[in-house]
């Protein structure tokens, strides 16, 4: 609330297990909902196999997206809302149907996807200098900050998302490149994991939810005065600036 970073909560409160970290995230989610915030979707993190190996985990993590975190293409982002932000280029899925089952199939997922748009996820951390452990990032809502969605929706049919190329520019200069295969081999696989996991967790995905499927390349630090432009091969572009 004060936008002041703190030390690792895993150490301060002796939180050591992933289950306890998600319990902290759920408590904070309940507080946010009680204060009138509204869920608009979920984000998937740790979709890079290399990062998973670094942290000693064998699966991604998830965080909540709230409606007040969303910006549209070309909008100015108020930097005072953030602590130590970084940007990632991603593919966003928007659902047209609920996915209530923990054994959701790939076919059910694909038929439930209404459209895709390019997305910028602005990740952030309450932990000083991003010196996070897995427990810290999960408890901190998977380091969620804000997100920016493109406004030209594209249908899933005939797209090979593993081959979707990504270029992220900061202030007109290349800052990050990547490809869909960097996201668990295919962003669809990441979303299938999320659909099943959220059903098991008791917060199943609903029609209209936005799914941020995971970074396609390295994170890029941003600050007030910066502008970002994300280009995807077939899904188009999305832009934002920080003020």
Q: In degrees rounded to 5, what are phi and psi of residue 39? A: -70, 135
The architecture in CATH of the region 11-242 reads Alpha-Beta Complex (3.90)
- Where do we find the tokens 């797209």? 159
Residue 99 CB-density burial (10 A; 0-12 exposed, 13-18 middle, 19+ buried): buried
C-alpha 181/C-alpha 236 separation (Å) is: 18
Check residue 78 and give its pLDDT.
97
Q: DSSP H helical segments within the chain, as ranges?
A: 9-12, 18-34, 49-55, 106-112, 134-139, 187-201
How would you write the pLDDT of the chain (243 residues) with one tens digit per residue? Answer: 899 999 999 999 999 999 999 999 999 999 999 999 999 999 999 888 767 776 667 789 999 999 999 999 999 999 999 999 999 999 999 999 999 999 999 999 999 999 999 999 999 999 999 998 999 999 999 999 999 999 999 999 999 999 999 999 999 999 999 999 999 999 999 999 999 999 999 999 999 999 999 999 999 999 999 999 999 999 999 999 999
Distances (CA, A) of 81 to 104, 145, 223: 36, 9, 11
Check residue 215 and give its pLDDT.
94
Q: What are the start-end ranges of the E strands in the chain?
A: 39-45, 61-66, 70-72, 76-77, 86-95, 113-123, 146-149, 165-170, 173-179, 210-212, 220-221, 227-232, 236-242
Check residue 229 and give its pLDDT.
98
Check residue 50 and give its pLDDT.
66
Check residue 191 and give its pLDDT.
98
C-alpha 142/C-alpha 240 separation (Å) is: 22
Check residue 234 and give its pLDDT.
97
How do the domains of the chain map onto residue ranges? 11-242
Q: Which residues of 168-199 are buried (b: 16+ CB within 10 A; e: fewer)?
A: bbbeeeebbbbebebbbebbbbbbbbbbbbbb
Check residue 76 and give its pLDDT.
98
């Amino acid at each position: 609330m004060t936008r002041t970073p703190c030390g690792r909560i895993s150490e301060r409160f002796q939180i050591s297990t992933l289950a306890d970290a998600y319990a902290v995230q759920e408590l904070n989610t309940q507080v946010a909902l009680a204060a009138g915030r509204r869920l608009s979707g979920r984000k998937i993190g740790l979709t890079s196999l290399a990062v998973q190996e670094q942290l000693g985990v064998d699966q991604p993590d998830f965080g909540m997206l709230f409606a007040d975190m969303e910006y549209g293409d070309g909008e100015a982002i108020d930097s005072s809302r953030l602590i130590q932000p970084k940007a990632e280029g991603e593919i966003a899925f928007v659902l047209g149907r609920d996915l209530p089952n923990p054994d959701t199939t790939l076919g059910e997922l694909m038929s439930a996807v209404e459209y895709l748009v390019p997305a910028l996820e602005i990740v952030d951390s309450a932990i000083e200098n991003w010196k996070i452990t897995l427990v810290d990032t999960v408890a901190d809502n998977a380091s969620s900050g804000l997100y920016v969605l493109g406004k030209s929706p594209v249908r899933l049919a005939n797209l090979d998302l593993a081959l979707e190329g990504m270029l992220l520019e900061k202030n007109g200069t290349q800052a990050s490149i990547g490809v869909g295969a960097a996201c668990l081999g295919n962003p669809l696989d990441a979303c299938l994991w999320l659909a099943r996991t959220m059903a098991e967790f008791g917060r199943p995905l609903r029609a209209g939810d936005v799914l941020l499927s995971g970074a396609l390349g390295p994170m890029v630090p941003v600050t007030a005065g910066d502008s970002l432009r994300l280009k995807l091969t077939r899904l188009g572009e999305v832009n934002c600036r920080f003020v």
